[in-house]
Structure 1
Amino acid sequence: METLEYTIEIDATSEKVWTALWDETSYRQWTSAFTKGSFYLGTWEEESMMKFLDPENNGMFSRVLKNDPNKEMVFLHLGEIFDGVEVPQDWGDATETYLLEETEEGTKLIARIKTSEEFKEFFEDKFPQALQNVKNLSENQL
Structure 2
Amino acid sequence: MEKLKFTKEINAPAQKVWKALWNEESYARWTESFNPNGTGSAMTSDWQVGGRTIFSDKEGNGMISTIKSMNEPTDVVFQHLGEIIKGVEDTTSEKVLNWAGSLESYHLTENNGTTTLTVQVETLKEWEKMMTDGFGKGLEIVKEISERVDG
Report the more deviating stretch, 108-117 or 23-32. 23-32
Greater mean alpha carbon deviation, residues 127-136 or residues 103-112:
103-112
Does residue 98 (structure 1) correspond to residue 101 (structure 2)? The answer is no
* 1:118 match: 126
> Where do 4+ consecutive residues of structure 1 move more than 2 Å?
none
- Whether the aligned pair in 2 keeps the contact of 1:93 and 1:114 (CA below 8 Å) is no
- Give the count of matched residue pairs: 142
Amino acid at match of 2:86: D
SS of 2:135's equivalent in the other structure is helix
Q: Deviations over 1:8-43 (max 9, x none)?
A: 000000000001111112111111121242111222
Aligned to 2:8: 8
Distance 2:10 2:28 in 1: 19
Counterpart position of 2:141: 133
Identical aligned pairs, as a percentage? 39
Instruction: Find the aligned partners of 2:57 and 2:44 in 1 and give their Cα distance.
Output: 11
Q: What residue ranges of structure 2 are gaps of 5+ in the alignment?
A: none
1:38 aligns with 2:38: no
**Which of these residues, 81, 85, 105, is aligned with residue 88 of structure 2?**
85
Partner of 2:68: 65
Mapped to 2, the partners of 1:135 and 1:27 lie a distance apart of 12
1:92 deviates by 4.6
Q: Which runs of 5+ in 1 are unaligned?
A: none
- Looking at structure 2, the residues matched to 106 and 86 of structure 1 have their Cα atoms a distance apart, in angstroms, of 40
Q: Contact between 2:12 and 2:146, CA under 8 Å: does it hold in 1?
A: yes
CA–CA distance in structure 2, aligned partners of residues 71 and 56 of structure 1 = 31
**In the TM superposition, what is the alpha-carbon distance from 1:93 to its structure 2 partner?**
3.6
Letter in 2 for 1:106: T
**8 A Cα contact 1:63 1:78, kept in partner:** yes
State the superposition RMSD in angstroms. 1.3
Aligned partner of 2:34: which letter?
A: F
Contact 2:33 2:134 in 1 (8 A): yes
TM normalised by structure 2 equals 0.89
